[in-house]
Structure 1
């Protein structure tokens, strides 16, 4: 309960003070990102989301353990879920290589939101923000899908969803500012095209295998 009160109080203070006390407010709430994505990323930065570790602290975890549902190799802390888990690392590595970004840090809180972003050249810091927001949001959705629906989501699916989200944000940038992001948008577009094609080929293989099984059965 104390954590919930602190979270609501801190968010209320943020709104009243115009974000003056929040070191990431100058860019976290900027541009036309979906409000739910912004708010969730802000709560993640404050470590106020309902990870299994936070739920266990409050005696609300209904699962047998607080182990990460993706890798089963560590407790589901905020840092583990979005940075240390082999699942998250795979997604991060893809975008780091695709867009030539610096390696992510070991801590999600201050380091990734302030230090990691500051390592990017000023004119591409928005790209880093897109990656952070899209990756954190989509990993969380995949985690919930695994817990509540028992659906196994592959890293390639998360990458594709991030590609689509990032590309949609690029399309709403003011026309005069698009030029500096053109190379990154092109890389995302090629990535999305490649993943779509690979998904289609995978589905064709699965369909052929199913038909073969039915025939031999």
Structure 2
């Protein structure tokens, strides 16, 4: 059984709405097209970022995260695994607090870009 990474979600000093969003990601409850389909809505599912694959929580975030971070590692299966291992690849100096917010900052930025493409038809270069 995986440990729930509550410290990585609720302890970093980031806006509360970003903490809540990270919690929803960890629960895989963010309203991506995959989760909307589970509620019996008919959609043509495609990722708004890559425009190729179906939009899922993990696909969308990993693709951008891995290209931005330039970290070479075995990709965790899900958000909870990433949060559990993230703290172990950081350092224990004063920068630790900043290191803890990196995943949430990237995910929040990706989510805002996704929503801008989805609802406003605007694209930024990632």
Q: Aligned to 2:29, which of 48, 54, 78?
A: 48
Q: 1:106 to 1:23 in 2, by over 3 A?
A: closer
Q: CA RMSD in A?
A: 2.2
Q: Deviations over 1:141-193 (max 9, x none)?
A: 100000101111211xxxxxxxxxxxxxxxxxxxxxxxxxxxxxxxxxxxxxx
- Is the CA contact (8 Å cut-off) linking 1:37 and 1:133 kept in structure 2? yes
TM-score w.r.t. structure 2 length? Answer: 0.82
SS in 1 for 2:50: coil
More helix by percentage? 1
Is 1:111 paired with 2:81?
yes
Bigger Rg, structure 1 or 2? 1
TM-score w.r.t. structure 1 length? Answer: 0.50
Q: Which has the higher contact order (CA 8 A, sep 6+)?
A: 2
| Cα deviation, residue 33, structure 1 | 1.3
- Is the CA contact (8 Å cut-off) linking 1:40 and 1:137 kept in structure 2? yes
- Is the CA contact (8 Å cut-off) linking 2:14 and 2:101 kept in structure 1? no
Q: What are structure 1's unaligned runs of at least 5 residues?
A: 1-21, 97-101, 156-217
Aligned length: 123
Q: What are structure 2's unaligned runs of at least 5 residues?
A: none
Q: 1:142 to 1:23 in 2, by over 3 A?
A: same
- Is the CA contact (8 Å cut-off) linking 1:29 and 1:38 kept in structure 2? yes
